[in-house]
Structure 1
Amino acid sequence: MQPLSVPKSRKEKTPSSLSWKLAFFGVNPGVMLGFVLLVIALWATTPSFRQVSTLQNLLQQVSLNVIISVGMTFVIITAGIDLSVGSVQGLVGTVTALVLMAPPLVARFGSGVMVLAVLAGTGAGILIGLLNGLLVAFLNIQPFIATLATMWILRGLAEVLTNGSPVGTAMPGTPLASLRNNILEHQFTMLGMGYVGPLPLSALVALITVVVGHIILSKTRFGRQVYALGGNLEATRLSGINVKRILLVVYLLSGLLSGIAAILLMSKLVSGQPTAGSGFELYSIAAVVLGGTSLFGGQGSVIGSVIGALIIGIIGMGLDLHGVSSFWQQVVMGVLILLAVLLDQVTRKASYR
């Protein structure tokens, strides 16, 4: 028996949704307009914003959220959510640092230990994504509950591994202290703080992630299945599509990208900190929803999530440049999340008219 054709997602079924969402690579035109106006306003009113160093700093700050948000886009399009991405920063960062600073590994591999550290961090991210995928796809636990649980588990494991202390500079007198510190502080840190020409290396990694993510989501059969699953889960299952496999891959992808971001963050911080990444899940969700991805599933785009992340980053930098207290910045971010959810609801209602 031949499987039925892939069911259309909400994105494909509503003409008004098509005209509203597919412009600018699927970005809500209203969000795109807001982004352009925000850039123009800061460019006109804040001279320091026009400096190359400021723009480079912005790209460096936004790149981690962009990488995480690409994975979160896939998850939310399936009508799921991944609350563990912030805790991944803490656990993967500490795992990476522990491998990087292990005296036996440094003694044997020298600077080559950096490759082992990256592989360990990436592998940890994949395993975390696999765990989330198994909980959601095969144990049928609601994504919110499953990833809320792993969020706490991962943060606790990071604290246990480090005894609550950062893993960083080796103390004088410890084995290979000078070599280990040189690798950590002068070589590995280039991943998070280095440049390729005028472009921060982390921004280049983010750019590659965005291009690959956009192609997978918009140009491949798997991407169409992701949209279909979020648009109508039961119809997707009845069409013969392996829903469990799609969910497993989507959460695995989120774990992988969160792990890559964690390695870059650890490199930037020059230490593995068990508390690193606190709140990253909220910034990522806000970026994805601001960019036009529906929390109800079936709609969204990688490019839209990038725009959302840039909006959040530019607002944060603009407030910094104008000397606004960090406490007020938290208030603004909370308001942004509310606006993102309201925008999602309004757009969803409009798409069915």
Structure 2
Amino acid sequence: MPETPDDRSRPRVGTLLASPAARALAAFALVLLLGLVFNADGAFFKPGVHRDALRQASVYGILACGMTLVITTGGIDLSVGSVLALSAVCSATMAIYWGWPPWVVAPASVLVGAACGLASGVVTAWLRVQPFIATLAMMVFARGLAKQVAGGVKVSTAVPQPDGTYEYVGVPTLFRAIDAQVLGGAVSVVTLVFLGCAAVAYLVLARRRLGRELYAIGGNKEAAHLSGVPVVRSTVWAYVLSGALAGVAGLCQASQEQQGDPEAGAGYELTAIAMVVIGGTSLMGGRGGMGLTMLGVLTIGYLDKILSINAVPSSTRLMLTGVIIVAAVLTQKRGRY
């Protein structure tokens, strides 16, 4: 039977799900449905579980904000986990060992991450090294530097003395402030920090000239260059911002753990990439946005919390994350046709 004009104008399920936003929303809805079904004897319905889910996803989400900027250009940043560890160690050293004030420690921690991002961006854009190789090198370098700065141990409130003993000091004011909860304990401060980072990344991508340049580079680098887009400079800025956000994440990580751990952040880049991809940002570059990444953060964050309250082993959660990344990429590929 031939289609009527009304039939042709009516959206179909396949067409609706071809949208990255629709696929991201569907994934998030599916995760929430799993939480409703596997609620761990009602634990999923407690407000504290949702607060903790957002809190635990916030550090990953900050990394995902920076990763979105880089992936939009068609690149990748494998160093964010190691840069997080370096920033955490540096912030703990400055705040605990040296007793520096918060207004110095916070920007200095961000600058440490930005410097690492600058190095990755220069090697990638100016020296024309593959992003995978350049950021892999930075991943190894930053991890080694974090261990060297920390002396191979965690930078904690047990401060080593010249005679081999330890002197215990209080937790820095900055760490206590970031690890606090507000609004009667309903929201963690680190979640607010994440939302602030997401807002900055959104403004860069959606409201600033740099964002349009990043989309152009990811869509077609040669065409962007011929159109007058400063490809090298804009690409470097994407990595600088990614590094700076990794610095913020490192400060938050140190605040939550109340120490700087040189081994922190291992594998965090995997989770950040998963959040970006599940949200719908294309790994090929040129398509995506912070709104989609926010959905990816919520999806992975809630999925991890649901598995946690149901006592699913961490090894199973890691394997599931890998499967989800492949499924998300395959969904993107099918959505283009």
Give TM-score, length-normalised by structure 2: 0.88
Do the aligned partners of 2:102 and 2:174 also contact (CA within 8 Å) in 1?
A: yes
Structure 1: unaligned runs, 5 residues or longer: 1-18, 107-111
Post-superposition offset of 1:253:
0.4
Equivalent residue letter for 1:77: T
AA in 2 matched with 1:41? L
| Partner of residue 32, structure 1 | 25
Contact 1:90 1:262 in 2 (8 A): yes
Residue of structure 2 aligned with 1:148, choices 136, 144, 159: 136
Structure 2: which 5+ residue stretches go unaligned?
Answer: 1-14
Partner of 1:77: 72
> What is residue 219 of structure 2 aligned with on the other side?
231
Deviations 1:249-277 (A, max 9, x none): 11000001110011000111111111100
Runs of 4+ in 1 over 4 A off after TM superposition: 19-23, 171-175
How many residue pairs match? The answer is: 317
Q: Percent identity?
A: 35
Of 316-325 and 41-50, more deviation after overlay is shown by 41-50
Q: Which amino acid aligns with 2:229?
A: I
Inter-partner Cα distance in structure 1 for 2:316 and 2:189: 31
The one-letter code of the counterpart of 1:287 is M
Q: Distance in 1 between matches of 2:321 and 2:18?
A: 27
Q: Which amino acid aligns with 2:25?
A: M
- 1:99-130 C-alpha deviation (Å, 9 max, x unpaired): 1123xx43xxxxx5233222221110111111
Superposed CA offset, 1:197-244 (max 9, x none): 122111111111212221221222221111111001001000111111
Letter in 2 for 1:65: Y
What CA distance in whole angstroms lies between the structure 2 residues aligned with 1:131 and 1:212? 22
Q: Which moved more, 1:333-342 or 1:38-47?
A: 38-47
Q: What per-residue deviation string (whole Å, max 9, x for no partner) do you get for residues 139-192 of structure 1?
A: 1111110000000001011111222210102248789x87x72243xx333244
Letter in 1 for 2:257: L
- Taking the aligned partners of 2:160 and 2:209, their CA distance within structure 1 comes to 55
Rounded Cα–Cα distance in structure 2 between residues aligned with 1:134 and 1:21: 38
User: 2:282, 2:288 within 8 Å by CA — same for their partners in 1?
Assistant: yes
Are residue 48 (structure 1) and residue 43 (structure 2) matched?
yes
Tell me which residue corresponds to 2:62: 67
Residue 316 of structure 1 pairs with residue 304 of structure 2: yes
Aligned partner (choices 86, 94, 97) of residue 99 of structure 1: 94
Give the root-mean-square deviation of aligned CA atoms.
2.1
Residue identity opposite 1:80 in structure 2: G
Q: CA deviation at 1:37?
A: 2.8
Counterpart of 2:124 in structure 1 is 136
Query: CA, structure 1 residues 233+96, in 2 after alignment: closer, same or farther (shift >3 Å)?
Result: same
Measure how far apart 1:77 and its partner are. Answer: 0.8
Are residues 189 and 230 of structure 1, via their aligned partners in 2, closer, same or farther at CA, if it must alter by over 3 Å?
Answer: same
What amino acid does structure 1 have at the position aligned with 2:312? Answer: V
More helix by share: 1
TM-fit CA distance, 1:346 = 2.1
Distance in 1, Cα, partners of 2:178 & 2:327: 31
Displacement of 1:248 in angstroms is 1.0
User: What residue number does 2:281 align with?
Assistant: 293
Aligned position for 1:271 = 259
